[in-house]
Structure 1
Amino acid sequence: MQTPEYEASDRELRVAAVLSKAHDAALLRTAHRLLARRGGGKRSPLHLPQPRILPGGHVPQWWINAINTTYAGIWRAIPSPGPELRLGAPDDPLAHEVAQQARLLQASRVGYRKRDSLYEAYIPDGTRFEGQSLPPIRGLSPQASRRANLLLGRGDGMRVQPGRDEEFDQPHTDYFAVWDRSRAYGAAVLALLRARV
C-alpha cells in the first residue's frame, strides 16, 4: 500500500515532467520563430509562444493526461533545417550546429511515426517472445496485415518483428530523445542569434 507522502511526491514528479514538456515545446516554437524572423530580415515578434499551461497552482489530472497524450504539441513544432543559412554561411559552425540539431529533431519525428510499425501480433510458444507470426490477412499488404492483426487483437501476444530489433532500437532512441534535442536546438539558435547581433 502506498503512503500519502509517496502519492504526493509521485504526483509532484508527474506534474514537473508535464510542465517540462510544455516548456520544451514552447522553447522549440519560440526558437524557430525567432530564427525564421531574423533570417527573413524582420524584427523579432512582440509576442513569443508561451507554454500551454493552466494558471494557478493546481494541476488537474485531465491536463496532465492531455499533455502526455499530445506530447505538448512538440511533433508539430519540429522545424526543418534552412532558416539558419540566411544568418550564416553553410560552413559557419554556429549555423551548422543549428542545422544539425534540426536534423536530429526530424529524426525524432521519424522515430515517433515509425515506433509502432515494427510490431506484430504472434502466437507464443511458451518461451519469451518466441512463437509463430500470424499469417497475413488475404487481400492486404504485409504491412497493412500486421497493423490489422494488432488492431483486431488477433494472436496472444505482441512483439517486435523477428530480425528487426536493431532497426527498432534507433527510432525508439530517437523518439525519446526529442525533449533533450529540443533544448539543444534552442541553445544552438540562441548562440547563433547572439553571434549575429
Structure 2
Amino acid sequence: MIVGGQWPGAVERLAQQLDEAQAADRREIEAKTAASRRSPSRAGLEPAEYQRQLRAYVQTREYKAADHAIRVAVAVMKAQDAVLLCSARRLLVRRADGRRPPRRLPQARVLPGGYVPEWWMSGINASYAGIWWAIPSPGPELRLGSADDPLVQEVAKQARLLQASRVGYRKRDALYEAYVPGEQPDQAQPVPPLRGLSHGQNRQINLMFGRGRGIRVQPGRDEEFDQLHTDYFAVWERSRAYAAAVLALLRARV
C-alpha cells in the first residue's frame, strides 16, 4: 500500500489504520454482545435447568454461527492491532531519526470478500498476529520533544504499558505450581521436589508430567498473578492507545 514520500501522507495513513483497528474492536464487542443476547439467561432458572438449556443451545446452528462470528471478529481485531502497532513504531522511529517515511506501511493480511478460513484464524491465534515482536521500547519520542511535553509523556507512558503487557505474556504461567491437598483446604502443599533439580526445574517438571493432584497459583502471589494477566490481556487495547499517542505527537511535528 503506497503511502508517498511526505510525512503528512504517512501520518494520515497511520490515522486510517487506527480507525480500522478501532472499527475491528467495535465489531468484536458487537459480536460478543449479540451472542450473549442469544444465549440462555440464568435469570429465573434453577442451576440444573440453566445448564440443561445451555447444553441444548450449544448444539444449535444459532450458537455455532455466533461462535464463528466471535472468532472471526477476534482474529481480525488482532491482525489489525498488530499491524497498527508495527506502523506506529516504525513511523515514530523514522521521524525521530530525521529520515523519510517508508513508502509502504505494514498491512493486515485480511482476506478479501469477508471469507475468513479456519487456518487463517488458527495462525493468528497461534502467533498472536506478531504483536509481541512489535512492542516498542520507550525512547524515540524524546527526540521529538522535551521530557515534560505532554505528547511525549503520553507516548512514553503507553510504551511502558506495552512493555508490561509483554512481561505478562512471558511470565503469566510462571506462577503456577503442582500441589498435593491436605486434610484442610489451606493445608495443601507443593509436590515434593526431585533431588538434584532447582526449584524452577522442579516446578516445570511437576507441571509438565502432571505430578500431584492439581495446579494452583503459588501461595502469596495471587496479586502478582492477577496483574500479569491484566497486563497480558490489555495488549490489544494498549496497542491502539500507543498508536493514538504516536499519531498525536507526529501530527504536532509535521
Structure 1-normalised TM-score?
0.94
1:38 paired residue among 95, 105, 111: 95
- Give distance in 2, aligned partners of 1:127 and 1:111: 32
- Give distance in 2, aligned partners of 1:37 and 1:44: 6
Unaligned runs of 5+ residues in structure 2 are 1-55
- Give distance in 2, aligned partners of 1:170 and 1:162: 15
Hey, what does 2:225 align to over in structure 1?
A: 168
Hey, what does 2:195 align to over in structure 1?
A: 138
1:122 paired residue among 179, 189, 208: 179
1:97 paired residue among 154, 157, 162: 154
1:7 paired residue among 64, 67, 83: 64
- Give distance in 1, aligned partners of 2:239 and 2:186: 34
Hey, what does 1:18 align to over in structure 2?
A: 75
Residue 183 (1) aligns with residue 240 (2): yes
1:109 paired residue among 147, 166, 174: 166
2:168 aligned partner, one-letter code: G
What is the CA deviation profile of residues 22-48 of structure 1, one whole-angstrom value per residue up to 9, with x for unaligned ones?
A: 000000000000101111111111100
Higher alpha-carbon deviation: 150-159 or 1-10: 1-10
What is the CA deviation profile of residues 37-83 of structure 1, one whole-angstrom value per residue up to 9, with x for unaligned ones?
A: 11111111110011133344321212212211211110000000111
RMSD over aligned Cα, in angstroms?
1.6
SS of the equivalent of 2:236 reads: helix
When you count helix as a share of all residues, which structure comes out higher?
2
2:122 aligned partner, one-letter code: N
Higher alpha-carbon deviation: 77-86 or 121-130: 121-130
Deviation (angstroms), 1:162:
1.1
Higher radius of gyration, 1 or 2 = 2
Contact 1:129/1:159, CA 8 A, preserved across alignment: no
Structure 2-normalised TM-score?
0.74
